[in-house]
Amino acid sequence: MYALVDCNNFFVSCERVFRPQLEGKAVVVLSNNDGCVVARSNESKAMGIKMGTPFYQVKDMVKAGRLIACSSNYTLYGDLSSRVMSILADTVPKIEIYSIDEAFLCMDGIPPDRIREICAGLVKRVRKWVGIPVSIGIAPTKTLAKIASHFAKRYPGYKGVCQIDDDEKRLKALSLTPVREVWGIGRRLAVKMEDCGIRTALDYVGRPPEWVKEHFMLHGMKTWMELNGRVSVEEERPEKRKSICTSRSFAEMIADRAELASRVADFAAKCAAKLREEGSAAQQVTVFLYTNRFRNDLPQYFPTVSIRLPVAANSTQEILSSALKGLDLIYRPEYLYKKAGVMVEDLVDADAVQLPIFDYDLGLRHRRDRISEVMDRLNSSGHNVVRLAAQRTGDYTDVVRSGFRSRRYSTSLDDIIEVK
């Protein structure tokens, strides 16, 4: 059996932990730059606010006092997430962290008749110790556990735990689940399935496997098997990422090359730091720019360029200088840019980098690695105490729109003192 633990309205719940006056109110959390709605309380869902709604479309409700908006505060969410995860990890033999607000628990070795009771205990403990409400779905496959967790979340009668442990319950649950809500079936596939007359998950599992394979290929087959109770979604992914990306939209559009370069330099430095944190090194650095895709009146340009590194690297200097080289190749002064990003790809283990035999300055490499190490130590507080001259001066908060930010209650000493 798998148990999927899903934090309810996670970002909103995090805000509520430290501002209990938000309890029972319509609350939304906004994306970077206060761009769009990325989390909603039950009350704001009931008001019809959809995921991804641009903030300006609900601004009037905020002004009228009917809706409370919070800028996103990922430091806070990340910290509360790790507290939730550590409680889960302490309770069951194995957990697979799936996202910031979800984890699969592997219930191997736990007597079947105790699973529900253990999960009910977890719901209470996480609520009491961290303050976050969670829902848990229990089932023989991950896809079914997801469905069970939806029921646990939707119907208060379950008290946060729903288990699918026999065929009767499974078929009942599938018949009540629209196919577009199934894990692994997105918008495009859902439309295609509905065109074939498939409305519920039960309709889908009723189709013969040959037909499913023909129309929805490998991916569709896996989902089909999972819904039929046969495990097909692999075990956890390897712990190291295959690519790392840092990108941001800008509060204002940018045309100036120097300004753009300093932003790209920041993104590159961030990628390099993430690489080192993970013990990886990159063989390729990609830079991309976006003009404002919502401005039909402006010329559009979405260039991207990749630079191969002769030797895999993770020093800030090397990643940054490649990124700026890339920027030079794609930058055109006649456009207004709204977003940029740096991606590092083809990652290898940092301690297994293949060095060339000839014409290679190993001393230079070591010096760069040393500098990066020192930078990491000095920057470990999360503030950019030291940076390369190509990077921006000043804090990131200077350039991001964030009108409703809560404090970093659980991680920043200043903010903790403020609360007291």
Partner DNA sequence: TCTGGGGTCCTAGGACCC
Cα 227 to Cα 32, 107, 147, 199, 369, distances in angstroms:
36, 19, 9, 15, 49
Three-class HEC string of 200-241: EHHHHHCCCHHHHHHHHHHHHHHHHHHHCCCCCCCCCCCCCC
Of the two residues 45 and 365, which places its CB atom closer to DNA in the complex?
A: 45
DSSP code at position 57: G
Whole-angstrom distance, CA of residue 174 vs CA of residue 167 = 10
Q: Are 28 and 40 in contact (CB under 8 A)?
A: yes
Of the two residues 255 and 364, which places its CB atom closer to DNA in the complex?
A: 255
Sign of CA dihedral 415, 417, 418, 420: positive
Q: Are 339 and 253 in contact (CB under 8 A)?
A: no
Query: Residues in the site for DNA, rule: CB under 7 A?
Result: 31-33, 35-36, 38, 52, 54-56, 59, 98-102, 146, 182-190, 217-219, 237, 241-249, 251, 253, 274, 292, 294-295, 338-339, 341, 343
Whole-angstrom distance, CA of residue 145 vs CA of residue 95 = 14
Strand partners, 102: 6, 99
68: closest CA among 126, 22, 128? 22
Strand partners, 291: 337
What's the min distance (Å) between Cβ of 36 and DNA? 5
Of the two residues 20 and 238, which places its CB atom closer to DNA in the complex?
A: 238
Of the two residues 146 and 170, which places its CB atom closer to DNA in the complex?
A: 146
Of the two residues 52 and 394, which places its CB atom closer to DNA in the complex?
A: 52
Of the two residues 33 and 406, which places its CB atom closer to DNA in the complex?
A: 33
Of the two residues 271 and 414, which places its CB atom closer to DNA in the complex?
A: 271
What's the min distance (Å) between Cβ of 292 and DNA? 6
